[in-house]
Amino acid sequence: MARQRHHQVAVALLQRHYKDAMAPRNWHYSATTWVQKIFFRSFFDLFKAYGLSLWVELSRFRLNSKSSNLKLN
């Protein structure tokens, strides 16, 4: 459920940045600024949306592997 919510947030942020970059008031910007707006800002938002859950999954995996190693010994 949380993963689906993270995905919805990430998609909404991507759409918002895309609309913001393509808005008529920003047409005087160069193409590189559009690329920065769309990709770099959305990359950081994707990291914020997925980074925490990925960190939790990795730490849970490490804890599970440590506990399984203790059980084997």
**pLDDT score recorded for residue 57:** 81
Q: State which H helix or E strand residue 54 sits in.
A: helix 41-72
Average pLDDT of the segment spanning 65-69: 68
* pLDDT bucket at 64, cuts 50 / 70 / 90: confident
Task: Give the DSSP per-residue string, 11-53.
Answer: HHHHHHHHHHHTSGGGTTS-HHHHHIIIIIHHHHHHHHHHHHH
Contact 21, 38 (CB under 8 A): yes
CA 71 to chain centre: 36
**pLDDT score recorded for residue 41:** 75
Domain boundaries, the chain: 2-72
Task: Please tell me the pTM assigned to this model.
Answer: 0.29
Residue 69 scores a pLDDT above 70: no
For 3-60, the pLDDT digits (tens) are: 777 778 877 877 776 666 566 565 555 666 777 777 777 777 777 777 777 778 888 8
